[in-house]
Amino acid sequence: MVLSKNERMKAKNALRKNQFTHGAAGRQSSFVPDSEAGAGLKRAIVILPIIIVLLIIAALLIGLKQFRSYFEQEQPHTQSSSTASRVTETDDEQRLLMVVSPVSPLPADYRTDLVTVQEVKVDKLIKKDLEEMLAAAEKDHVSLRMVSGYISGEQQRELFQAEVSRLMEEKHLTQINAVEETEKSIPNENHSERQTGLVITFGTYLVTDFSKTEEYRWLIRNAVRYGFILRYPEGKEKSTGFIADPACFRYVGKENAIKIKTLNMTLEEYAAYLKARK
């Protein structure tokens, strides 16, 4: 079919119009308005600093963790020393208030750190206060003579057995009765506080009854100031389980000694009192 000139012109115009319409639509679909581009840029500007801050925090946390790990590796001795110090303080307090008797024996693993004061062995724990007390007495013109301090388990056993034998021979007691009687004054091995090194027995050369001496009176007035108490006072035999002994003084520490005297208690009563309060 042959188109006329006018028809050919119309066809060309229609083709051009169709191409223009599709091209404009394609360009319009790929075009991003200026307002949307600006919003995206603003979001990028806000998010980027946040990302940078988060990265810095992460780096600081990692660095802190590494520093702490290094510090802990470099300071084990200091930490263990601090722990050991706290343990030692707790152990010392328990030792000061430990009650040893026939019904409360000395622990099998108990150890003493012995030193010598005026030729008498005592636990190192009492050395400073004991020496200060002896010096104070001398300043007051009172000469305190220490008869005994620490006694080993073997020595204690020998003393116990010797007294049992004496009672059986002199008073004709049976062995069972002799043992029971001996335990009131001389406990057996591991049943004596003298094995702790915290007990001092005083005496004089001329007077056998220590309660009649100036030394005894001075100790009753002043011993608590240096951490010592009269261990087996008269009238407290039921509490202590032993007959009264005016020459036997026990170190319990200054604070405990003052409280025990103020409350008029024995060591047994004071230990029970503290336990009840806890």
Identify whether the C-beta of residue 202 lies closer than 8 Å to the C-beta of residue 146.
Answer: yes
- CATH of residue 216: 3.30.1380.10
Looking at the domain assignment, is residue 68 inside a domain? no
- Whether residue 212 sits in one domain with residue 140: yes
Gap between the Cα atoms of 194 and 185, Å rounded: 12
Residues 265-274 have pLDDT tens digits of 999 999 999 9
> How confident is the model at residue 134, as a pLDDT?
98
- Whether residue 180 sits in one domain with residue 229: no
Looking at the domain assignment, is residue 272 inside a domain? yes
Identify whether the C-beta of residue 184 lies closer than 8 Å to the C-beta of residue 242.
Answer: yes
- Whether residue 239 sits in one domain with residue 142: yes
Residues 16-50 have pLDDT tens digits of 655 545 444 444 444 445 555 566 666 667 677 77
Q: How confident is the model at residue 278 (pLDDT cuts 50, 70, 90)?
A: confident
Of 191, 218, 252, the domain-final residue: 191
How many domains does the chain contain in total?
A: 2
Close Cβ partners of 199 (under 8 Å, ≥ 6 residues apart): 149, 193, 231, 248, 249, 250, 251
Of 191, 217, 242, the domain-final residue: 191
> How confident is the model at residue 229, as a pLDDT?
98
Looking at the domain assignment, is residue 201 inside a domain? yes
Looking at the domain assignment, is residue 41 inside a domain? no
- Whether residue 208 sits in one domain with residue 106: yes
Looking at the domain assignment, is residue 143 inside a domain? yes
Burial of 131 (0-12, 13-18, 19+ CB in 10 A): middle
Looking at the domain assignment, is residue 274 inside a domain? yes
> How confident is the model at residue 30, as a pLDDT?
45
> How confident is the model at residue 80, as a pLDDT?
40
Average pLDDT score over residue span 49-73: 67
- Whether residue 277 sits in one domain with residue 164: no
Mean pLDDT of the chain: 83
Looking at the domain assignment, is residue 126 inside a domain? yes
Identify whether the C-beta of residue 115 lies closer than 8 Å to the C-beta of residue 124.
Answer: yes
Gap between the Cα atoms of 200 and 231, Å rounded: 10
- Residues of the domain holding 158: 153-191
Looking at the domain assignment, is residue 66 inside a domain? no
Average pLDDT score over residue span 129-138: 98
Close Cβ partners of 253 (under 8 Å, ≥ 6 residues apart): 93, 96, 227
Residue 200 bridge partners (DSSP) = 249
